[in-house]
Amino acid sequence: MSSSESIAHDYLYTAAQVRELDRLAIASGIAGFELMSRAARAAFAEIPRRWPDKSLIDVFCGGGNNGGDGYLIAALAENAGMAVRVWALSDPLSLRGDAALARQSASDAGVVIKRWEGERPRSQALVVDAMLGTGLTGLVRENYAQAIAAVNTSEAPVLAVDLPSGLCSDTGRQLGAAVRASVTISFIGKKRGLFTLDGIDCAGDKVFDTLAVPSAVYLQLSDDTAEKTKLLNLNTMLAEWGARPRNGHKGLFGHVLVVGGDIGMAGANLLAATAAARSGAGLVSCVTRPEHSAHFLAARPELMVHGLAGGQLAKGGILAGLLDKASVIVIGPGLGQSEWARVLLRSVVSSNKPLLIDADALNLLAETPEILRSHTAPRILTPHPGEAARLLECDTVQIQRDRFAAVLALRDKYQATVLLKGAGTLIADADTTAALYLNSGGNPGMASGGMGDVLSGVVAAFVAQGHFPAHATCLAAAVHAAAGDEAASSGERGMLASDVIDNLRGVINRYAAVSG
């Protein structure tokens, strides 16, 4: 695949960008009806491939071009000898343009077309969802919501055309109701809403077809990278990393300092530090409460552990020496919000070292964002939606309503590389001209305590080894998710953060093993 062709596969697009790609494709000489016909053929090809035993096809069609795709799929199914019926959610005779031509093609093929009045899909049928596409912006209208409910409560598998009906193409949230598809085939540009939030559950298996749109069309849109979202590819990133020098030593691979672990929360610090060590950092140190030192060393003797009480945090003391030696500092895992924690945060920020701020350090930062004014080194924030809401002084619902907007707002407010956790993790580079990044890996088993602490350690280890903050964050997100997916091979329920740590080393070294 050439670099220009890979743009179509590697990037995610908004609905407006896909419409522009459509326009550019038509301007390049491909008729709109031809694009619709190609989409129908690509979708129809999935039916015998995925469901070779299905000969009953119920196609639910809306009133726009998405419905036009459905009418053409119905025509193809009818011509293939399948028992097809179309349920029209709007008056078929009101269709215009290419959609009207598609409806006529279905009628000419002998497809039975009826207005939908509450009917459920037939038993043993395959449902083709061609009701609502990328043009939907507001809540689903009542008749469409009822049709979506009829599809979802049936036992029929569902092939969604371009987008599950009711899903917001740009944000991935349900707009009142959304089809839960078995397979979604999308065209020309991958819709970013399919890869995050509700889109992950609604889309099912995702298939993509460029419809043979020329590479030049994508290149016409490629200059505006800041408006696109790039899918992370772990194998590509690991391949670019390359092998370690044979004469390397621990000093070449950086020194991670993990600060946190208040009373009752020592495990978070230990998880982050262990993950950093397993991710290749040359040296890893911890600052924690004195009560925890012996337990840390017993659990992980490779760490350098410093137990500091409140009276030992004076400026110029032991802490200052530890901060000075660090290549990158993680603050937050198990930090708490006591005065001990606040002194540590102020000291770490004033060291002006590269920082990763997570967990309780984010909550303290939300209270006093001005603390970063004197910090000029690179910084990375890794909030979950609740922490992001506190940082932006809003609620979690607002964050989840548009995760893409939220991660950009965090980047701009805190002038940092930001990783917004959740299904379809998003990363915004501190460089405002760069694209967003989305990691599609991971699984529900990772929704358990300590997973974020592990991620913080991995990110810091990659920064310590010389990766730029945004690249380190992207690589860490992909590695962390892949390690979680390997851990889930034994089952998602009951998976622990330490199970992910156990898989980090193998994932990071996988490319070298394969290429060797």
Tell me the C-alpha to C-alpha distance, in Å, between residue 37 and each of 70, 124, 182, 311: 10, 27, 22, 74
Backbone angles phi, psi at 33, to 5 degrees: -70, -30
**Position of tokens 């390359």?**
242
Residue 295 is assigned to a ligand binding site = no
In degrees and rounded to multiples of 5, residue 370 shows phi and psi of: -65, -10
Q: What are phi and psi of 175, to 5 degrees?
A: -100, 65
Whether 421 has a binding-site annotation, put simply, is yes
Q: Distance (Å, rounded) from C-alpha 465 to C-alpha 280?
A: 8
**Is 210 known to sit in a ligand binding site?**
no
138 is in an annotated binding site: yes
Is residue 139 annotated as involved in ligand binding? yes
Which stretches of 361-413 are assigned E, i.e. beta strand?
379-381
Residues shown for the chain: 516
Q: State yes or no: 144 annotated in a binding site.
A: yes
- Among 35, 23, 45, CA closest to 68: 35
CA angle 237, 241, 242 (to 5 degrees): 130
Query: Which candidate, 324, 314, 322, places its Cα nearest to that of 346?
Result: 314
- Of the candidates 234, 254, 235, 236, the one whose C-alpha atom is nearest the C-alpha of residue 244 is 254
Is 423 labeled as ligand-binding? Answer: yes
334 annotated binding-site participant: yes
Let me know: does 425 contact 290? Beta carbons within 8 Å.
no
- Which distant-in-sequence residues (6+ apart) come within 8 Å of 378 by Cβ? 354, 355, 416, 417, 430, 463, 468, 469
Q: How far, in Å, CA of 104 to CA of 36, rounded?
A: 14
Phi first, then psi, for residue 489 (nearest 5°) are -60, -20
Task: Judge whether 135 is annotated as a binding position.
Answer: yes
Strand partners, 174: 167
Is 242 annotated for ligand binding?
Answer: no
- Is 67 labelled as part of a ligand binding site? yes
Residue 209 is assigned to a ligand binding site: no
* Cα(486)–Cα(294) distance, integer angstroms: 31
> What single string gives the DSSP state of each residue in 463-510?
HHTT--HHHHHHHHHHHHHHHHHHHGGG-STT--HHHHHHHHHHHHTH
Cβ(262)–Cβ(343) under 8 Å?
A: no
307 is in an annotated binding site: no
Is 424 annotated in a binding site? The answer is yes
Residue 29 DSSP one-character state: T
- The torsion angles phi and psi of 421, rounded to 5 degrees, stand at -70, 165
Query: Any binding-site annotation on 402?
Result: no
Is residue 110 annotated as involved in ligand binding? no
* Residue spans of beta strands (DSSP E) within 308-415: 328-331, 355-357, 379-381
Under a CB-based contact definition with an 8 Å cutoff, are residues 455 and 432 in contact?
no
Token output for 82: 């399948």
Nearest to 332 by CA among 427, 422, 445, 455: 455
Check the annotation: does 181 bind a ligand: no
Q: Is 332 annotated as a binding residue?
A: no
| Binding-site annotation: residue ranges for (6S)-NADPHX | 65-69, 133-139, 144, 162, 268, 334, 384, 453
| Binding-site annotation: residue ranges | 65-69, 129, 133-139, 144, 162, 165, 268, 334, 384, 421-425, 452-453
| Binding-site annotation: residue ranges for AMP | 421-425, 452
| Binding-site annotation: residue ranges for K(+) | 66, 129, 165
